[in-house]
Chains A and B, each alone.
Chain A
Amino acid sequence: MSARAQLAILLVAAGLIGLYTLLRYGGHWGEGDTSTFTRAIRSVADTGRIAPDDRFVYGSGYNYPSLVVFLMHLCRINLSDVQIYAAPLLVVWLVIPAWLAYREITGSTRGATLATAILIIQPELLFAVLRGTHEKFTRGMMLLCLFLLFRSLRIPHHPARFTALVITFYLMGYAIITSNNLMATSFTVAIGLALVLIWMVSRREQVTARLSKPTLTRLGYVVATLLVLAFLFIFYAYTPAHHSLLMMESIWERVLSMLLNVEAERTNPYTIMGNLWINPAVYMLVSLANWLLLGSTALLWMGQSFQWLLRGKGPATTHELLLWAFYGAFAFQGALSVGIDISGALAANLQHRIFPSFAMLAAPIAARAIIDWRPTNLRIGRLANAGLALVFGFLTIMSVLKATNEPMVSNKWLFYVPGELQAVAWSEEHLIYRTLWTEFDERIFAAVRVGNGASDIQLNIIPNLETNIVRDFLISDVTRWRSERTGDIIPIEADSLITYDNGQAQIYHLRPQTPYQP
């Protein structure tokens, strides 16, 4: 199969993933981070400034909001359409930088195709890039950076091309910084860790020493330059980034956020993963692609490390060395962040985003192993290939179900029914300045915000009861299903009044007990 055909298959597959995401809920979905970004984009769109005063600003970077505003004007579509419809479909773009990078890393189109396929069926990554957030672009730019880095190390003796690649690399690096400075700094730190690993190996064996010398120098420049760029961005170019960092109470938290790409005040995935799915077995099934990738590549990497570090056999090429080192670096970051999370060393709950970065480097390792496996028995080989294809097919289905939070197996639902938003619209008109409870999490809240492009509304919609005066409750069929699924009690009283009913959703009002209750 030609390279073009392989690429075409991947593009179509990515497009189908985006299309499935779109069709699954018919555009009736809302998600927390997407709604946050919608708000940030609204600030930029309304003011024409990347960091407007007195408006909500995404503290980690201005790239994505600016890009979306550009797309809105270019394509003449509104913000909610971009976030709801365009965002899942734009996942297609990720295939190109991934394929380019993996072709460079693995040295073959087949490796590129396989690695890209492995990548796009990783549910952790898929979930992140199907949303209306910066990640699909940031991850793509990271892959492009890898491509540029690896390519430039291969052609040092072509000055013009080398220079062009280096310049493009730093421009791309800065673009990542402007997209999410924490992701960028952790990426840079990973490069630094890779440098350390390469140095360790180079001490062990002469061939490696020869291969690694230019690499070490180059990586050193990369780390230093990117850190300088990040510093300038955080402390001078984009003051919201500085303020976000200052909001973290301790210097320890600030350092860790930059090293490990963590953001404060997020839910801890370890403690809630069991609650997010109908049972742990289902969770394991839908995230099987992650576990298989993690497990298989860990074994491969450790085997490789054993060969190089303990038996003195070195890598054959610079790319092989680099890939090994990058994998090790991201794996170390991931292990460190997990350890810190579990130890509770920090006051805030932190959510790491290392796994997608790790998957980006694990995919080519897995792909290489598949390609390099040459069974002597052709029949076994064919059977194995068929089995592999079946596994991939199965994993694709599982991963897409996870990435879309399929409500039949997930407890964290993203979709809404039109009646719910109609009820909110009614409340907006008739419950002015009141607070409306909208279920157990941000589902409706996010849907409203994304759906109306983060325009101001008078109504206060909240999922959290504790800190608000709530006398009005939006209860729908979906609410009842979720109540049954999770066992959460719907917080209304027996004598609550039904003040609105459109068939799909009702609004209940608690009877006032004092003169001060509405």
Chain B
Amino acid sequence: MRHWYHDIKLSRVSILVLALVLSLRIGPAQQVQAAAQPLPCELRERASLPGRAARFDLACDLTGRGSLEDRLTIIDRDPLRASDVSWPELAGTHEATWIFDVNDDATTELVVIFRQPETVLIAELYDAQGDPARLEHQIDGAQVIFLNQLQPTVRMIASDGWWTRNGKINFNLDIAVDGLVEAAFDVHWALKNRVATDGFIDFIIRIRDENNDGRPDYDWRTVQHPPQLPPFTLPRTFLMVNEKDNEPPLAPVLPWPFLGGETYYLTASPLPSSDPPIQVNWESGTITTVGEFVRSRGNDGQWFVYSFEEVKQDEYSYPDFEAPFAWYDLADDNDHAPELSVRLGYFWAFSPVFLRGNYNRPINFVRYSWDQKNDGRWDYKLALLGHNEVTTTVTVDDLEMRLVDYDELPGWVLRHDWGVAIFVTSENGGVSGEGIYTWDAPVWLMEQYFTGRSDLPMPEIDLETYRGEDLRRIEPGFRGEYQLDLNGQVRLYVSAVDRRPHLLYGDRGMWNIDGRSTIHYANLDGDKYFDEWRLMVDGELVRQLNDGRDYLVLAENNIVTLAPVTTERALVELVPPRDHQGWLAFGKQVNAHLGSFEPDDFAAMLDSLGGSPSRIVGANLRDFRSQPEGFRFVLELQPGFRLEGAEQLTLEDLAPGSYVVTYDGSFSVVPLTPPEVELTVAIPPTDFSLFEPAVLQVWASNLGSEDARELKVVAEISRNGVAPIEIAEGSLALLAGEPVDTLMTWWPREAGTWEMRIQVLNTEGRMLAEQKVTLRVVESQWYNIPAIFEASTGLGHRGSVLLLLPVLALLIGLGVFLTSSATARRQDS
């Protein structure tokens, strides 16, 4: 079954589109669009109708073509009496019917019926949905009578009894949407062909302006899940809450402010105002969208919940999935452009949405992005995976939810422990959108490794063809680091080596500078800081810098440089920003320590930190690795090599060749010897049983001084001249002086005497070591018919069971014989 929260994540194309759209909307005010203008209309004819009613025929420009070629007919059953009232004042919205005819061609695209039963106001919108005959009607006096049986696509109720009052818009509204309308994020694809305007409400929307200031405070939507879809296919609840009460003012284009043309927004209307949320495609006469009254994106003081678990009124709810997704004004500049975006993805233990309900712990997936430069583009991002349970309650009106409070959320993230932490920086000027998507926790990592299903943090796939997110590659312009077993709070630090912020306790990382040059980071000794930088250009290693605690070691252009270092490796440890002060402090500290050298200028890094270096000209370095007391590497001295600068190590009397350099307080240099693999196999003294696992313990050690990293272990069995069958294969890294042991399992399927051969092979397939053992497999003690019978029959019943069958057979046989016999034929009923 597909996982719909993955599909909620946008495809690359839609990310680009969304980014493009949002790029116009996030950032300083001068970058956004102008507020909408009222649609131009001119009164052409006014007529009185029976009763108090009046009819107004107007020529309008609904589609923005620049001429008044569309018709709007208003039947007002309670019009203003003054004769000099003109558009838009003459447009009644209490007891009136509006009929829109685009192109004035006698086909109706939209009808809006306003009613006022008692104290409430109701607006019912009927759209043509591309069918010119759908809204055919007759006007009988002041009544508009549809010729077809119709249900309204949108019904809006203002219980307070007003739409607008003295320029203020009423946002205490209840809306029902019936049909395939974009009224909730990313559900359209699932509802297509499953919903229609048929009288069954598909979206229930509640908008509230609790302090009645003419700005909506929250927008709560519930999607009615079609019964044809498996449960939990779609999120049910979409709740948007504006904490700062700074929703941009709605700019009406019609006297009824909620209706307008298509502006193609669902989640964020262009600033500085909000376009009318009920959007009509005038050409086809289709209500395409009911946009969010409180925008989920495109502001800096709001949060939203998109939840598969339904949030219900007057009932304690447990929302999941994006619960919540919040935006913050870290710059405190009230420019509607957030500087912090925190997306807390959450599934409860046994959530049916996650792994089909088969995961027994709560799981969180966080994206924590911030704009440090305050330029409307995201600069940094933390992606986190954890098992932190939410225990707090948030109340919105009569909705009570188990949720992290908006104000607490950034601190909640930074306060809790996380299992997986990924840190990403956008090095080429930041990105727009909901945050930095690059290196969000990959699906495999979250569903397989982090849940414990797989030992592998990354799948065994062909990266050339794989389109999904993977931590073995990163897009150009991004730098990413990760620690898959953090199990602590997430923190950063500024490295003294490259002067950049890094993930504290990070394990691996990479910076794709320009698509060709990539710097790979590693933390070889497992402490807090990265200690290896490797520059690869077009896949080739160009230079390498290692931090060996007391020394920096640089290899480039056939020169190996060793420089003693005494300073701390972290210039400062940082807490990611969660509020304005923290944001200011973070920026200050990062900027204060930023180096002036290029990211791939390792020599400059070394020079800025290291003391008097030794340079070995005509030498190369490989297989650098940390050791408990220091480090070691293989030094390859070329003919004519020489030592320049300080004498950190002694190379006199050494001929060109390969050497192992070891540092454990002082340097030692010894000739390199090739890997010499020694293999030992131990088997239990007893015979093996059929279908029981045969366990063998295998020890391997490398008696040479050169590490052997890419070895293969193959186990085969054979017997009596039968061709060997490979039963196990695995990879092996044998470091010099560090033996390994492992267990191998074989499931024998035939009894007899078997010979097992275990080989260690190098990358060329040459055998480096071999061991043979003889295994005896005996017939199982388990499998025999009497044992099965005894086990399957209760102790006191064995005799009865054995007796019953023949008795039954006898009875049936006798009955058949007596019934079918000749004598029986004389008897009949």
Contacts and interface: CB of A to CB of B under 8 A. Distances in A.
Interface stretch (A40-48, A190-198, A210-218, A484-492): A484-492
B808 A117 contact: no
B693 A494 contact: yes
Contacts of A468: 355, 358
Interface in A103-139: 103, 108-110, 112-114, 117, 121
A332 to B, nearest CB: 30
A353 interface: no
A480 B228 CA distance: 43
A286 to B, nearest CB: 13
B653 interface: no
A385 interface: yes
Contact of A483 (B691, B694, B797, B825): B691
Interface stretch (A165-173, A308-316, A336-344, A374-382): A374-382
A388 B818 CA distance: 11
A389 B813 contact: yes
B485 interface: yes
Interface string B770-790: 000000000010110101110
B801 interface: yes
B828 interface: yes
A288 B318 CA distance: 57
Contact of A13 (B449, B451, B692, B808): B808
B594 interface: no
Contacts of B8: none
B747 interface: yes
A87 B793 CA distance: 19
B13 interface: no
Contacts of A421: none
Contact of B829 (A3, A17, A374): A3
Given A13-B811, A400-B805, A513-B455, A392 B816 contact: yes
A16 B804 contact: yes
A397 B825 CA distance: 27
A480 B782 contact: yes
A514 B815 contact: no
Nearest to A26: B794
B812 interface: yes
A490 B609 CA distance: 58
A16 B782 contact: no
A447 B628 CA distance: 55
Interface in A11-60: 12-13, 16-17, 19-20, 23-28
A433 B362 CA distance: 12
B66 to A, nearest CB: 49
Nearest to A381: B822
A176 B453 CA distance: 46
Nearest to A384: B820
B757 to A, nearest CB: 18
Contact of B808 (A108, A396, A512): A396
A407 interface: yes
A19 B800 CA distance: 10
Contacts of B337: none
B225 to A, nearest CB: 12
B349 interface: yes
Contact of B801 (A12, A20, A382, A515): A20
Contacts of B818: 1
A512 to B, nearest CB: 8
B820 A433 contact: no
A435 B349 CA distance: 13
A3 B451 CA distance: 67
Nearest to A28: B794
A493 B449 CA distance: 19
B783 to A, nearest CB: 5
B820 A110 contact: yes
Interface residues of A, number: 82
A499 interface: no
B801 A374 contact: no
Contact of B782 (A103, A477, A516, A518): A477
Contacts of B788: 407-408, 481
A247 B228 CA distance: 6
Contact of A477 (B452, B789, B791, B819): B791
Given A25-B793, A494-B744, A110 B452 contact: no
Nearest to A6: B819
B814 interface: yes
Interface in A415-436: 415, 417, 433-435
B821 A382 contact: yes
B807 interface: yes
Given A26-B797, A477-B791, A469 B453 contact: yes
A121 B808 CA distance: 11
B571 to A, nearest CB: 30
A1 B819 contact: yes
A371 interface: yes
A77 to B, nearest CB: 20
Interface residues of B, number: 72
Nearest to A12: B811
Contact of B794 (A10, A23, A109, A385): A23
A271 interface: no
Interface string A506-518: 0000001111111
B801 A494 contact: no
B227 interface: yes
B809 interface: yes
B106 interface: no
B815 A484 contact: no
Contacts of B452: 469, 471, 512, 514, 516-518
Contacts of A109: 827-829
Contacts of B455: 513-514, 517
Among A10, A117, A514, the most chain B Cβ lie within 10 Å of the Cβ of A514
Contact of A6 (B349, B451, B787, B815): B815
Nearest to A120: B812
Interface in B685-700: 690-696
A394 interface: yes
A117 B816 contact: yes
Contacts of A6: 815, 819
Nearest to B454: A514
Given A468-B358, A515-B419, A515-B485, A10 B228 contact: no
Interface string B357-388: 01111000000000000000000000000000
B820 A371 contact: yes
A10 B785 CA distance: 32
A207 interface: no
Interface-centre pick from A109, A113, A392, A477 (highest chain B CB count, 10 A): A392
A246 B815 contact: no
A20 B485 contact: no
A119 to B, nearest CB: 12
A275 interface: no
Contacts of B745: 493-494
Given A370-B820, A494-B695, A117 B743 contact: no
Contacts of B244: none
A345 interface: no
B87 interface: no
Given A20-B805, A114-B820, A393-B813, 15 more contacts: A3-B829, A9-B814, A24-B797, A26-B795, A27-B794, A28-B794, A113-B819, A392-B809, A392-B813, A393-B812, A408-B788, A469-B453, A480-B692, A494-B696, A518-B452
9 contacts: A20-B804, A370-B820, A381-B821, A386-B817, A408-B788, A478-B791, A484-B691, A484-B780, A493-B743
Interface of A: 1-3, 6, 9-10, 12-13, 16-17, 19-20, 23-28, 103, 108-110, 112-114, 117, 121, 243, 246-247, 370-371, 374, 378, 381-382, 385-386, 388-390, 392-394, 396-397, 400, 407-408, 413, 415, 417, 433-435, 460, 462, 467-469, 471, 477-478, 480-481, 483-485, 487, 489-490, 492-495, 512-518
Shortest beta-carbon contacts, A-B, top 8:
A26-B794, A393-B813, A393-B809, A433-B360, A494-B695, A389-B817, A494-B745, A517-B452
